[in-house]
Amino acid sequence: MLFFSLLLEVIWILAAEGGQQHWTYEGERTAPRAPAAPLPPGPLHLPSAGEFPSASAPAPPRSGPPGPKFTWRTPSPSSDRPAPYVPMGPRKPGVSSVSLCPHGQDHWPASHPECGSNAQSPIDIQTDSVTFDPELPALQLQGYDQPSTEPLDLHNNGHTVQLSLPPTMYLEGLPRKYVAAQLHLHWGETGSLGGSEHQINGEATAAELHIVHYDSDSYDSLSEAAPKPQGLAVLGILIEVGEAKNPVYEHILSHLHEIRHKDQKTSVPPFNVGELLPPQLNQFFRYNGSLTTPPCYQSVLWTVFNRRAQISMGQLEELQETLFSTEEEPSKLLVRNYRAPQPLNQRTVFASFIQVGSLYTTGEMLSLGVGILVGCLCLLLAVYFIARKIRKKRLGNRKTVVFTSAQTTEA
Ligand SMILES: [Zn+2]
């Protein structure tokens, strides 16, 4: 109300002055300047079968004007995220393949050189450095709703819990047809909310689901496709802890107690695997990367969804506390089976969507709104007082003229 009454008064003053006057003054902007619209990254890249950079070579420089700069920032470690312990290979018969490796993942390249290459996974996705590609085809999950009438094999392989998937499940929207082979999970230690492999803007989530597919147009099996460039397509689903129990994840988690030790298997009735994914699949990141365990083949076309799936804290604890990485006593809990983020190097991460939220958070938008309102009010007040002052001065001048004129008449 104050704003509008001031506005009316200023208009009235200005009208009284006959609209002949205006004032200018020098000052600063009272509201922050909106950022310039981002420059287009040059001709848009349309990925197709041969266009994605080879998985074994760095991405070629993009033509056209320079686009956004791709920089790698070392992710800041989450406070509750200890260094993962990792499966080491090659395995020796009869020896557990998961151990508390004293040297960590840094020593993988010694036995598996590709683990030290320049297009490794996972990565920390910096959303202000991704390239929006409106031509990225939507990903379509075929056969996910009813994968099979046959039971699915659930297996504790000592590194993770793995569910076998039938080839009736496949992906469309990628350069070739990729059929499903298996899905598995990554998670942290008991009580930790940092167990995912991929991170977004330096933030890990509680766990991550990977659904592994291979190029069935070109290869006959997962093992044949695994070392080949873009032989694999993996979906990465970040999982966070929510309020409610997720009934779909129960199709896996409720069977963990049947496969507590390494190499144990059980059967799971078929279920809608598509419901393990977040509700909106249209927002995703796409990049060329690798397997996240030795031999770290750089053969994976990664799709990491921006939206997250949710499970309850109880379900996360079930995942963190049920499985062992060893076949017998003394048992080692199977935990922290994630790899640390790897350097992006020269690779480009494409996004299927524009990150509106990356410009301003809700709080920043609110602050901006309040700032603009206060700024307008201050400006209006300033104009009001200046107008008043000038009007007063003009009235004073008129009075002086009348007084002088009267004196002359009397004389
Ligand atoms: Zn994985």
Question: What CA–CA distance (Å, rounded) separates 116 from 282?
Answer: 32
Residue 299: its pLDDT value, please?
98
Cβ pair 194, 75 in contact under 8 A: no
- Cβ distance 84 to 342 under 8 Å? no
pLDDT at residue 174, rounded to an integer: 97
Sequence-separated (6 or more) residues with CB below 8 Å from residue 105: 84, 86, 115, 339, 340
Q: Find the distance separating the first CA and the last CA of the chain, reported in whole Å.
A: 53
The CATH class for the domain spanning 105-359 reads alpha beta
Sequence-distant (6+) residues with CB within 8 A of 376 are 3, 30
Per-residue pLDDT at 380: 78
The rounded Å distance from CA 71 to ligand 1 centre is: 25
The Cα–Cα gap between 232 and 264 comes to 26
Query: How close is the Cα of 263 to the center of ligand 1, in Å?
Result: 18
Low-confidence ranges of the chain (pLDDT < 50): 1-2, 4, 6-80, 85-103, 402-411
Ion ligand 1: residues, CB within 5 A, are 210
Beta bridge partners of 236: 210, 304
Containing 383, the helix (H) or strand (E) segment is helix 362-410
- What is the pLDDT, as a whole number, of residue 257? 97
pLDDT (0 to 100) of residue 392? 77
What digits encode the pLDDT tens for the residues 250-282? Answer: 999 999 999 999 999 999 999 999 999 998 899
Whole-angstrom distance, CA of residue 320 vs CA of residue 323: 7
Ligand 1 center to 38 CA (angstroms):
34
Ligand 1 centroid – CA 356 distance (Å): 29
DSSP 193-239: S---SSEETTB--SEEEEEEEEETTT-SSHHHHTTSTT-EEEEEEEE
Residue from 352, 340, 197 nearest 287 by CA: 352
Query: Do residues 215 and 233 touch, judged by C-beta distance below 8 A?
Result: yes
CA 308 to chain centre: 9
Rounded to the nearest angstrom, the distance between the alpha carbon of 235 and the centre of ligand 1 is: 9
- The residue ranges of every structural domain in the chain are 105-359, 361-396
φ, ψ of residue 207 in degrees (nearest 5): -160, 175
Query: Is 22 among the residues known to form the active site?
Result: no
Which residues, listed in sequence order, are joined to residue 213 by a DSSP beta bridge? 180, 233
Question: Ligand 1 mean position to 29 CA, how many Å?
Answer: 51
**CA-closest candidate to residue 208, choices 332, 304, 110, 104:** 304
**What distance in angstroms lies between residue 247's CA and the mean position of ligand 1's atoms?**
22
For position 373, what pLDDT does the model report?
Answer: 81
pTM here is 0.66
* Given the residues 107, 159, 255, 261, the one annotated as active site: 159
Going from the Cα of 385 to the center of ligand 1, the distance in angstroms, rounded, reads 67
As given in the structure block, the two tokens for residue 265 are: 């298997």
Q: Are 290 and 114 in contact (CB under 8 A)?
A: yes
Q: What is the pLDDT of residue 106?
A: 87
Please tell me the distance between residue 359's alpha carbon and the centre of ligand 1 in angstroms.
Answer: 31
List the one residue out of 352, 351, 318, 348 whose CA is nearest residue 335: 318
From ligand 1's centre to the CA of 146, what distance in Å?
Answer: 23
Buried b (16+ CB within 10 A) or exposed e, 158-169: bbbbbbbbbeeb
Q: How far is ligand 1, taken at its centre, from the CA of residue 183, in Å?
A: 8
**Beta carbons of 321 and 333 less than 8 angstroms apart:** yes
